């Protein structure tokens, strides 16, 4: 009786499986964060541009996607901080600064 699995030398897992990157090379953590940031901006722009034409289901789906992207970005930022050895106080300061800039950009006041 033969062994199970793919024949010796088969590379399907690299092409189609969890090891595949769908046409992208592996990138740095910073590049992944940049990609997610751009995706977030794209989804926000899509919602803003199409908010009057979206069905309720499409609107909720777009916001669900936005939440998922923010969650992924947050995890990558956490991992980056852990790997870099930055202390939590510095990250907190950076998030406060980012929040301040966002409030200023959006015209939101405390």
What are the pLDDT digits (tens) for 16-38? 554 455 545 556 889 999 999 99
The angle that helices 56-84 and 29-50 make with each other, rounded to 10 degrees, is: 160
- Percent of the residues in the chain that have a pLDDT greater than 70, as a whole number: 74
End-to-end CA distance of the chain: 72
What is the reported pTM?
Answer: 0.56
Cβ atoms of 47 and 91 closer than 8 Å: no
Q: What pLDDT sits at residue 85?
A: 73
Average pLDDT, the chain: 81
Q: Residue 29: which H helix or E strand, with range? A: helix 29-50
Q: What pLDDT sits at residue 48?
A: 94
Angle, CA of 74, 79 and 82, to the nearest 5°: 130
């Amino acid at each position: 009786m033969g062994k199970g699995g793919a024949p010796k030398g088969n590379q399907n897992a690299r092409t189609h499986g969890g090891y595949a990157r769908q046409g992208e090379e592996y990138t740095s953590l910073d590049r992944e964060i940049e990609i997610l940031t751009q995706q977030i901006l794209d989804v926000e722009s899509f919602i803003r541009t199409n908010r009057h034409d979206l069905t309720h289901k499409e609107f909720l789906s777009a916001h669900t996607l936005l939440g998922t992207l923010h969650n992924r970005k947050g995890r990558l930022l956490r991992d980056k901080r852990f790997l870099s050895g930055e202390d939590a106080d510095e990250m907190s300061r950076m998030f406060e600064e980012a929040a301040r800039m966002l409030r200023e950009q959006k015209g939101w006041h405390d």
